[in-house]
Amino acid sequence: MEKISLNVTRLKIPENLISDYDIYYITIEDLVKGGANASLYACLISIAFYNSIMMLFISIPIAIVSPFFMKDEYVKKRKDKLLLEFKDFLRILKSFLEASYSVENAFALSIKELMMLHGKDSMMVKELKVIVSQLKLNKPIDIVFRKFAEKTHIDDIVDFSEVFTIAKMHGGNVSKIIGNTISVIDDKINVKIEIDTITASKRFEQKLMNLLPFLIIIYMNISSGSFLRPLYTTFEGRFLMTFALFIYFVAIRISKKILQIEV
């Protein structure tokens, strides 16, 4: 609870520049959406597994703060989005370099083009604005870009930063390096999209299977309430339902791991 309290006091709005992409501050939007979804599950659990209003009052507060325990999912989603924006940025940057612009000018000109694709509030646009502002202070572009890459903790961006730094130091073909980087990132993203397409039906089945136990129990309560009454009124019955709920959560966790294929 101490950790949650610290996070509550440090809520960030989405417009703030991100200082470290491995650190996620829960937003009000996350609390509303995540809390609402978790509260719905809390209601189903209270009705199906315990048939208790008291359990509902106990589980709802836990459900509301559940987004604080889902930070890894939010971090992964944000990094995936940044990588897509970074890929588009590299495409734009390459086109300006092939038109004989300097690297510094190409970075500055890329902002407007990227805004047309992802909007002015996109993460990469904000990062580019900071990078360009640093370049105007005559800071070396390789050092500025490396700082950006290090805080993203994304392998593709960090690797590109290292190669980019070497190319700048030794006069390498930056345009060719960018082209190779785009090919690598494109291949990874295409593989990921193909995997997501293949497993889409399985993920949908998983969501249906997650709801099935609730539907079965609620149906049995409606059609044969007296048959299930001992499960809600005796110690042994409550223990059995709690154990069944534990198995249910373990099954969900395993199914997510099976469908979570890293590229």
Q: Supply 14's token pair.
A: 């989405």
Measured between alpha carbons, how far is residue 11 from residues 60, 68, 141, 239 in Å? Answer: 21, 11, 32, 38
| Distance in angstroms (rounded) separating the CA atoms of residues 261 and 263 | 7
pLDDT digits (tens, 9 = 90+) for 95-114: 888 888 888 888 899 999 99
Chosen domain end from 138, 172, 206: 172
Contacts of 9 (CB under 8 A, 6+ apart): none
Predicted pLDDT at 263: 66
Predicted pLDDT at 129: 92
> What residue type is 195 in one-letter code?
I
The answer on 249 and 226 residing in a single domain is yes
Predicted pLDDT at 243: 93
Predicted pLDDT at 172: 65
- Identify the segments of the chain with pLDDT beneath 50: 1-15
Is 188 contained in some domain? no
Predicted pLDDT at 4: 40
The answer on 55 and 86 residing in a single domain is no
Q: How many domains does the chain have?
A: 3
Predicted pLDDT at 6: 42
Q: Supply 158's token pair.
A: 């960090």
What is the distance between the terminal CA atoms of the chain, rounded to a whole angstrom?
Answer: 35
The answer on 165 and 104 residing in a single domain is yes
Is 139 contained in some domain? yes
The answer on 131 and 149 residing in a single domain is yes
- CA 21, 111, 30, 215 torsion: positive or negative? negative
The answer on 102 and 65 residing in a single domain is no
The answer on 137 and 216 residing in a single domain is no
Give Cα 53 distance to the centre of its chain: 34
Is 92 contained in some domain? yes
Predicted pLDDT at 128: 93
Is 186 contained in some domain? no
Predicted pLDDT at 16: 59
- Listed residue (95, 98, 135) closest to 112, CA to CA: 95
Residue located via tokens 């700082």: 147
Q: Which range of residues forms the domain containing residue 248?
A: 198-263
SS3 per residue for 97-118: HHCCCCHHHHHHHHHHHHHHHH
Is 156 contained in some domain? yes
CB-count exposure of residue 163 (10 Å: 0-12, 13-18, 19+)? middle
Is 189 contained in some domain? no
Is 168 contained in some domain? yes
Is 191 contained in some domain? no
